[in-house]
Chains A and B, each alone.
Chain A
Amino acid sequence: MKLMEKKILSYLLVLSLFFLFLFWSFHQLNYQWNWSAVYEYRSKFISGWLTTVAMSLASLILSSMIGLCGSLFLLSRSEILKATARVYIETIRGTPFLVQLLIIFYVVANALGIENRYFVGIVCMSLFSGAYMAEIIRGAVNSIEKGQLDSARAIGLTSIQTYRLVIFPQAMRLILPSMAGQFVSLIKDSSLLSVLAISEFTLNVQEVNSFTYSTMESYLPLALGYLLLTMPLSLFIQIWEKRWRYEA
């Protein structure tokens, strides 16, 4: 209990110093706050935030599936599958997300005749995140000692059973926190979708700003809106990692 109290006090202290500093910085600006203009547009904040949540969630699911396939390709014995996964992953990880968005939207989607920008946005985010997920999953699977695979074969498990009963349950423990971290980046990176004129959180807030000229009053809630999503995830990661620490 003592430790808990110390922890809470430390957080309170650091947070209040942080806000004091922020407050002081804003005070120096001599800024004329005008919340009422922004408040008029509250529905735009909410709908933008919900769009961001929905698109991030959809991308999380799709990118997990892409990541799983990618990792299976990387781990497979087929050279062609391995090469496919490698080219995909290195291209995605080696280029900026913004460039990928523009190329996929204006070139690839255009060529394929896909017009729904929300759909394209989700695909872009999933492809981007999937590359990182594939590496996360591959790393976790590879971290399982080879001796366990021998054991699994020796007791007569098939390779599918080995994946299902031995490898993935253990890999999941390593994968989940990294995946949550990946999800945090995904949520933040989704703000780039504004360049495709997708009415997600950031774009909506930019619009509110241009209507009201109340920059601070628009962008502070924007930051808060993202924190609202990312903080619980970070917390989850910490709790998860504590929970499995007993493993030798």
Chain B
Amino acid sequence: MKLRLNQVSQSFNHQEILHQISFSTSDIQGLGIIGPSGGGKSTLLRILAGLDIQNLNTKMNQAPGEIFFDEKKLNFDGKSLHLHRTKMGVVFQSFNLFPHLSAWDNLMLPLIQVHHWELSKAKLRLDALLKRFQLSMHVHKFPSQLSGGQKQRMAIIRAISHHPEILFLDEPTSALDPEMASEVLHMILDLKKEGTKIVLVTHQMDFVKRVADEIAFLSQGKLVEFAKTSLLFSSSSQVEVVQFFQKILL
């Protein structure tokens, strides 16, 4: 995938949360978004996934920033955004699965209601995914009966079952204890190996190193650095980035 952002901004209550973010990736498989808490990572991911539109800061009289996926411009009208969302997959930190539906019904819901797959095709696809990630025996449980790790892995299955162009992950493991986090991590690494394209927000540096080919570092709503993963970690020229790594690794 190739992603190009041109002056993407976001404001809430006339306060600027994202300030004219611009970068363009090479043709990569994984993009990481990292940086200190409150820096605007989730805000940016939500715009890229088509969940939020950019609220224009009227005082500054700016036009909405542009986003291109493989040089195709994303339009921000309701219809285009809905279409965009059906072509993407998203997994949040929590509240992914609907509590009133069994895991199986959660997985079936988008395939049947959104993508209008035949029942048999949907079953075949889900059975294969469940088997592969060793979740078949849990599929008739309700979310409240699943462990945190199982819930997240089910959510990932739901997000990839329709073969999305990109899988967006916003701290998919940070609500989990380490053991469960690692089962989710392995699943994501498996998907990456298989060719799934991923945009990942995370605080785990070892994780982002393995998933992302290029990384955007956001702090206080600004893009501090955009670079290849290996370069960012080995030889960043930005003081803020270096300090951030030092704080995290200590």
Q: Which residues of A contact B (CB under 8 A)?
A: 145, 147-148, 150-158, 161, 165-166, 169-170, 173, 246-248
C-alpha spacing A155/B143, complex, angstroms? 17
Quick check: A147 and B158 within 8 Å, CB to CB?
no
**Considering the chains assembled together, what is the distance between the CA atoms of A152 and B96 in angstroms?**
8
Q: Is the CB of A158 within 8 A of B100?
A: no
B212 to chain A, nearest CB (A): 21
Q: Given contacts A154-B51, A156-B86, A158-B82, is CB(A145)–CB(B110) below 8 Å?
A: no
- Since A156-B115, A157-B109, A248-B99 are in contact, a sample of 7 more A-B pairs with Cβ atoms closer than 8 Å, ordered by chain A residue number, is A147-B94, A147-B96, A154-B85, A157-B110, A157-B113, A158-B82, A173-B100
In the bound complex, what is the Cα–Cα distance between A248 and B49 (angstroms)?
A: 29
User: Chain A residues with Cβ under 8 A from B143's Cβ?
Assistant: 248
Q: Are A156's CB and B114's CB within 8 A?
A: yes
Q: Which residues of chain A have C-beta atoms less than 8 A from B85's C-beta?
A: 153-156
**Chain A residue at smallest Cβ distance from B83:** A156
Q: Are B92 and A166 in contact (CB under 8 A)?
A: no
A-B contact pairs, 22 of them (CB 8 A): A147-B92, A147-B96, A148-B99, A150-B51, A150-B95, A151-B92, A151-B96, A151-B98, A152-B98, A153-B85, A154-B90, A154-B159, A155-B90, A155-B159, A156-B82, A156-B85, A157-B113, A161-B114, A173-B100, A246-B144, A247-B99, A248-B99
Q: Give me the 6 closest cross-chain CB pairs, A-B, nearest first.
A: A147-B95, A248-B144, A156-B86, A154-B90, A156-B114, A155-B110
Binding site for A on B (CB under 8 A): 49, 51, 82, 85-86, 88-90, 92, 94-100, 109-110, 113-115, 143-144, 158-159
CB neighbours (8 Å) of A157 from chain B are 109-110, 113-114
Report the Cα distance A155→B112, complex, angstroms: 11
